[in-house]
Structure 1
Amino acid sequence: MQTKTEIIAVGSELLLGQIANTNAQFLSQQLAELGVNVYHHTVVGDNHKRLEETIRIAEERANIIIFTGGLGPTKDDLTKETLAKVLGTELVTDQDAMTYIEEYYKRSKRTMSENNKKQALVLKGAQVLKNEYGMAPGMVLKKNERIYMMFPGPPSELQPMFLNHGKPYIMDALGEQDKIISRVLRFFGIGESQLETDIEDLIEGQTNPTIAPYAGDGEVTLRLTAKHAEETTAIQLLNGLEEKVKERAGAYLYGYEDTSIMQELVKVLLDQKLTISAAESLTGGLFSEQMTACKGTSSVLLGGIVCYSTEIKEKLVKVRPETLENEGAVSDQCARELAENIRMITGSDIGIGFTGEAGPVAMEDKPVGTVYIGIAINGKETKTYLLNLAGNRDGIRKRTVKYGCYYLLQLLKSKS
Structure 2
Amino acid sequence: MNNKTNIPKDTESKNEVLVRVQGLSKKFCKDFKTSLWYGVKDLANGMLGRGYETGLRPKEFWAVKDVSFELRRGECLGLIGHNGAGKSTLLKLLNGLIYPDGGQIDITGRVGALIELGAGFNPILSGRENIYNNGAVLGFSRQEIDDRLEDIIAFAELEEFIDMPVQHYSSGMKVRLGFAVAAQMEPDVLIIDEVLAVGDLGFVLKCFKRIDTILPKTAIVFVSHSMPMVSRICNEVILLEDGKVRFQGTEVAKGIDLYYTRFSNNETNVVFNDGTIELESVFIEGERNENSEIASVNWNSDLKINFKFKLKRKVKSFPFFKVIIFDKEQRPVGVLTENDENFDFTLDNDIIRFSVFHQNLQLSKGVYSINILVSEGKIRAPLLRQNDIAKFQIIHELDIWPPFLLSAKFISR
TM-score (normalised: structure 2): 0.32
Compare the two structures and name the one with the higher helix fraction: 1
Structure number with higher relative contact order (C-alpha < 8 Å, ≥ 6 residues apart): 2
TM-score (normalised: structure 1): 0.32
